[in-house]
Structure 1
Amino acid sequence: MDMLMEVIVAVLILTGAFFLLVGSLGLVKLPDMMRRLHGPTKATTLGIGSLLIGSVIYFGALVGEFSFHELLITLFLFLTAPVSAQMLAKAHILRSKTDSSTLPPTGRAHGWATLDDQK
């Protein structure tokens, strides 16, 4: 049983490290803000979540101490990362005149950003 748990924890840690590496490379290498936003919000969230879940399993099954704090951090991370990414993207669209002019029409009275005062 311990060997199976160690393998599961090792796979979660390696998966988390891979996603963190991919997210970090995406943050550094992608050309503009809207594309660069995907690195930390998608890949890095999965990486940190995988590491935290691996830590919860390790301390719960192998050490015998359940860590509720890491579970709460994982939940908080998965709830806040998409919301912050959407807020950053909307603010970028609102402030960038060149990006907002290339967007397709929404079919509504207001544009893509929440406070589109151009119309």
Structure 2
Amino acid sequence: MNTLLDVLTGVCLVVGAMMSLAAAIGLLRFPDLMSRMHAATKPQVLGLLLMLAAVGLQMRSWALLPLLLVAWLFQLLTVPVSAHMVGRAGYRTKHRRPEMLSVDELDDVVAAVVEGESPDS
């Protein structure tokens, strides 16, 4: 039984590390802000989940489970919020590539705010 848990722990660690590495490579290699935001959020959260699962499997303590869940939930809740804020800041400061967007729904709203109008009118 210990060898099975050790193998599962190793698999979780390796796959989690590969997901985190994929996120890092995506941050360095992707061409624009929107692609980089995606690379920073999706694989990183899954990589952390797998790393925490490996810690839980290796430690074999039920007392550790709430701490691991809280750590993952905080990551799960804060990563999309931070990516959203980075995206908003990048959009407003023109760090985007409009030719890569299929639909730009914010263009009219931002233009109206810049002109001092209400975006709803």
Q: Output the TM-score relative to the length of structure 1.
A: 0.75
Normalising by structure 2, report the TM-score: 0.74
1:43 corresponding residue in structure 2: 43
Assess if the C-alpha contact under 8 Å between 1:34 and 1:89 holds in 2.
yes
Give the structure with the higher percent helix: 2
Contact 1:94–1:116 (Cα < 8 Å) also in 2: no
Structure 1 moving runs of 4+ over 2 Å: 68-71, 97-106
Per-residue deviation at 1:13?
0.6
Report SS of the residue matched to 1:31: coil
Aligned residue in 1 for 2:14: 14
User: Relative contact order: is structure 1 or structure 2 higher (C-alpha 8 Å, sep ≥ 6)?
Assistant: 2
| Distance change (3 Å), C-alpha of 1:102 and 1:34 | closer
**Identity value in percent:** 28
Gaps of 5+ in 1: none
Match of 1:83 in 2: 81
Q: Alpha carbon RMSD of aligned pairs, Å?
A: 2.9
Q: Of residues 112, 115, 118 in structure 1, which corresponds to 2:114? A: 118
CA drift of 1:70 comes to 2.4
CA–CA distance in structure 1, aligned partners of residues 4 and 95 of structure 2: 54
- Count of aligned residue pairs for this structure pair: 113
Which residue number corresponds to residue 31 of structure 1? 31
